[in-house]
Amino acid sequence: MRLYTFRVASPVGPIVRIGAEAGGRLIDLNAAAAFAFSEQGEPDAAEYADFLVPPDMITFLSRGEKAKWAAAESIDLAAGAGLSEGPNGARLTYGFDEVHVMAPVPKPNIVWDSMVFLEHVKMGRPVIPDVFFDWPPYFTQSGAIVAGPYDPIVRPRFTRELDFELEFGAYIGTAGINIPAEEAEHHIAGFTIYNDISARDVQFKEMEMMLGPAKGKNFEGSNIMGPCLVTPDELDYNDMRMICRINGDVVVDDHSGSMHHKFPRIIEWISQEEYLYPGDFIASGTCDHGTAQMSELKRWLVPGDIVEMEIEGIGVIRNEVVAAPGDE
């Protein structure tokens, strides 16, 4: 499945829903489930749908396999019926031009950002530390500053060295602690594209104190995710082309197979004596040439730049850099 979170207008104002792509349209999973349960004779179809297939991605993921089965059945029924509305007048499907696509999980509980692409680790290091080969390094970022696949990138007033980072990542679907690598993939709900926007001048100053990065990576909209959550059965995350274009020009053309540590090992390490929960996001870290200086761009991002990232099997995100209000 290709799962989306989207915002749509309603008589009471904008509302947030989750949906699945089918036939070039978005099927509202909650509304489609209510329709399916009603067709099956369930007397409390809407209430049952609200519990099992709620219009919130984290809650939906936490409902487990039964929720995924119900969603798949609902998608098939709604797509097969060819209806845009259910018997009760609820919208079952939307065109992509009718909605605002958000990040698949608009506010993940936490973002674990790894650093496992070997060429990226080599950047600026005469020798790679032995510890890199022992376990996958990572740091944490706020899940409250996530932006969607088509939202603007607002350059903070405190930086002139704004950078992109081409990554992808996995959403946790099943909670766990001390997860063995051989069981880790069962905890993955799906994958999405991730652009880890960074203020390099601030980041490098922070790291002189052996802390951070902090403000260099944590500002509104600096964690860009999307366009959808692709379930593991739909792709091979070890075999994906990763491309970044700036203003239409390809500046990065890498491959996910270059990860030294794969997601099972990353999950195993992060989950040691620490729970992972549905909605947690674990990023791959930057691909081999996935930053401004490592790419063909060789300059920082400036207002007016269009940053487009494409990962095979997932899709495309496209964001324009704009100046902060009052800044030039």
- The whole-number pLDDT of residue 82 equals 67
Separation of alpha carbons 69 and 319, rounded Å: 34
pLDDT in tens, 141-192: 999 999 999 999 999 999 999 999 999 999 999 999 999 999 999 999 999 9
Separation of alpha carbons 262 and 21, rounded Å: 28
Which helix or strand (DSSP H or E) is residue 206 part of?
Answer: helix 200-207
3-state secondary structure of 76: helix
Do residues 59 and 135 both lie within one domain? Answer: no
Give the range of the structural domain holding residue 16, as residue numbers without chain letter: 2-101
- The whole-number pLDDT of residue 172 equals 98
Do residues 49 and 198 both lie within one domain? Answer: no
Q: Is beta strand 15-22 parallel, antiparallel or unpaired with respect to 25-28?
A: antiparallel
pLDDT in tens, 277-298: 999 999 999 999 999 999 999 9
User: Is 328 contained in some domain?
Assistant: no
Q: How many domains does the chain have?
A: 2
User: Is 295 contained in some domain?
Assistant: yes
pLDDT in tens, 43-54: 899 999 999 999
Do residues 183 and 128 both lie within one domain? Answer: yes
- The whole-number pLDDT of residue 10 equals 84
Separation of alpha carbons 97 and 120, rounded Å: 37
- The whole-number pLDDT of residue 94 equals 93
Do residues 33 and 70 both lie within one domain? Answer: yes
Tell me how far apart the 2 most distant CA atoms of the chain are, in Å. 68
Percentage of the chain surpassing pLDDT 90? 84
pLDDT in tens, 10-37: 888 899 999 999 989 999 999 999 999 9
Q: Is the pLDDT of residue 90 over 90?
A: no
Mean pLDDT value across residues 83-98: 81
pLDDT band for position 231 (cuts 50, 70, 90) = very high
Do residues 208 and 271 both lie within one domain? Answer: yes
Mean pLDDT value across residues 121-147: 91
Do residues 216 and 303 both lie within one domain? Answer: yes
- The whole-number pLDDT of residue 186 equals 97
Do residues 192 and 310 both lie within one domain? Answer: yes
Q: Which domain-ending residue is among 64, 82, 101?
A: 101
- The whole-number pLDDT of residue 87 equals 61
Do residues 81 and 133 both lie within one domain? Answer: no
Tokens 């998608």 found at: 75
Separation of alpha carbons 276 and 272, rounded Å: 10
Report how far apart, in Å, the C-alpha atoms of 281 and of each of 19, 39, 309, 316, 327 are: 19, 36, 18, 19, 32
- The whole-number pLDDT of residue 123 equals 81
Do residues 189 and 69 both lie within one domain? Answer: no
- The whole-number pLDDT of residue 304 equals 98
Separation of alpha carbons 118 and 287, rounded Å: 8
pLDDT band for position 212 (cuts 50, 70, 90) = confident
What are the residues whose beta carbons fall under 8 Å from the beta carbon of 15, sequence distance 6 or more? 7, 8, 55
Separation of alpha carbons 67 and 49, rounded Å: 9
pLDDT band for position 317 (cuts 50, 70, 90) = very high
Do residues 78 and 133 both lie within one domain? Answer: no
Angle at 101 between CA 139 and CA 110, to 5 degrees: 20
User: Is 106 contained in some domain?
Assistant: no
Q: Is the pLDDT of residue 210 over 90?
A: no
- The whole-number pLDDT of residue 127 equals 87
Are 53 and 30 in contact, with CB atoms under 8 Å apart? yes
